[in-house]
Amino acid sequence: MSQHVARLQRRAGARQVVRPLRPPAAEGRPRRVAMLSVHTSPLHQAGTGDAGGMNVYIVELSTCLARLGVEVEIFTRATSAALPPTVELAPGVLVRHVDAGPYEGLAKEDLPRQLCAFTHGVLTTEAAHRPGHYDLVHSHYWLSGSVGWRVAQRWGVPLVHTMHTMAKVKNAALAEGDVPEPAARIIGESHVVFAADRLIANTAEEAHDLAHHYGARAGQIAVVHPGVNLDVFRPADGRAAARRRLGLPQDAFVPLFAGRIQPLKAPDVLLRAAARLVADDPGLRRRLVLPIVGGPSGSGLAKPERLHKLAARLGLCDVVRFQPPVTQQELADWYRAATVLVTPSYSESFGLVALEAQACGTPVVAAAVGGLPVAVRDGVTGYLVRGHDPAGYAAALRRFVDVPALARDLGTAAARHARDFGWGSAASAMAAVYSEAARRGHAAEPA
């Protein structure tokens, strides 16, 4: 075992000591929150498997909550026998690995059968401490919510839930070749909506979807915009330096896709748009570089080579660069190096990659869906495209080809826009929601 893991185990072991209850925090703020993330760990590399924006969300939110004095313990399913029981993610943030089902080879679709085991693991952890160890439960995604309402009810504490994505919304905007979300998920989401004291929506549109599709009560929903790590994602030393580090030509036109490779995220739309640009302007091929940064995920795992084959059919193999998922620091360099980020998703609860790119000073061309119209100011920090016709994206990208200074001008505005979305502000707003939920009582039990 590496020295790093051993050090984390020693730190985590020190935190297992039972401590006396402390007096209530100021303004009724919870002292310790049980954060539930069943199907994906905050320690996983974003952009691989099921790890994506939700992972980033949980890491950044928890870290900033801890800085505000709210301790966070994140429960996630153990995916390897070699994992330590606990890992200190940051001061005041502890990740707990719960044994629930086989360590490896368990698809997300099979996880509902392991929720009872996961619930038992969470309850057992709490039982080892004095009563009142956790003041609130915050669950993420419907699988965690199904555990969350049970443990919140058992402990007599409030349940706050963040959907991140919703089955009914996804099914209403399926990409070609994508698989509808199952009825079991819709039922599970409905139970969570009924049970939760507070539902966190990323945007006003998501709040509307919660009310329209799931009957969420108006007073139950709180809108809290996600944030961006402004220490990592910033213009820094600019595009030229980033391109030198990544080995990209200084005069290249670089439309970037960053994220999980699956039909929902629609990277194929960018490839088809690029093919149109080259067909209309064959000379553009000489300076076109099209990076796809990320790994297969979700339904994309069924045909992991699908995008590579599409690039070959479109005659783009010489310009497309497939890059595996990278660290946040490396991802920031890809954003800085890009002329424009392209996010043609069929559904996005918010679109953190769009915000990250803008924080780096890079404009965005995005689908006008979900939270992207909040993350991107149309005509100011980038362009929003209605629908998923590659011609619309090609037209938006053509603006940056025809007017090279456009990327700089919109990028400057994008960096200013992103500064309003720091995680510190998001954590403060979330802490206020926690306080209100604590004042109003604890979770109901679904019928």
What are the binding residues?
39, 50-55, 108, 141, 165, 185, 260, 265, 326, 335-336, 338, 348, 356, 362
The secondary structure of the chain in percent helix, strand, coil, rounded to multiples of 5, reads 45, 15, 35
Other Cβ atoms closer than 10 A to 4: 8
Contact (CB, 8 A) for 154 and 120: no
The tokens for 299 are 């339904």
Residues at the binding site for UDP-N-acetyl-alpha-D-glucosamine are 53, 260, 265, 326, 348, 356
Distance CA 338, CA 321 (A): 13
Distance CA 23, CA 25 (A): 6
The tokens for 100 are 């629930």
Residues at the binding site for 1D-myo-inositol 3-phosphate are 39, 50-55, 108, 141, 165, 185
Residues at the binding site for Mg(2+) are 335-336, 338, 362
Distance CA 224, CA 446 (A): 25
Contact partners, residue 443, CB within 8 Å, separation at least 6: 137, 148, 149, 152, 153, 157, 158, 159, 195, 196, 197
Amino acid at position 88, single letter: E
CA distance from start to end of the chain: 47
Contact (CB, 8 A) for 381 and 410: yes
Distance CA 62, CA 142 (A): 19
Angle between helices 306-313 and 267-280 (to 10 degrees): 10
Residues β-bridged to residue 342: 365
Angle, CA of 366, 403 and 331, to the nearest 5°: 45
Distance CA 242, CA 227 (A): 23
Q: In what order do the strands lie in the sheet with 93-98?
A: 86-90, 93-98, 71-77, 32-36, 136-140, 159-162, 198-201, 221-223
Angle between helices 53-67 and 352-359 (to 10 degrees): 70
| Closest-CA residue to 366 (of 336, 346, 339, 391) | 346
Report the b/e string of 21-40 with b at 16+ CB within 10 A.
eeeebeeebbbbbbbbbbbb
Distance CA 335, CA 238 (A): 10
| Closest-CA residue to 233 (of 339, 329, 323) | 329
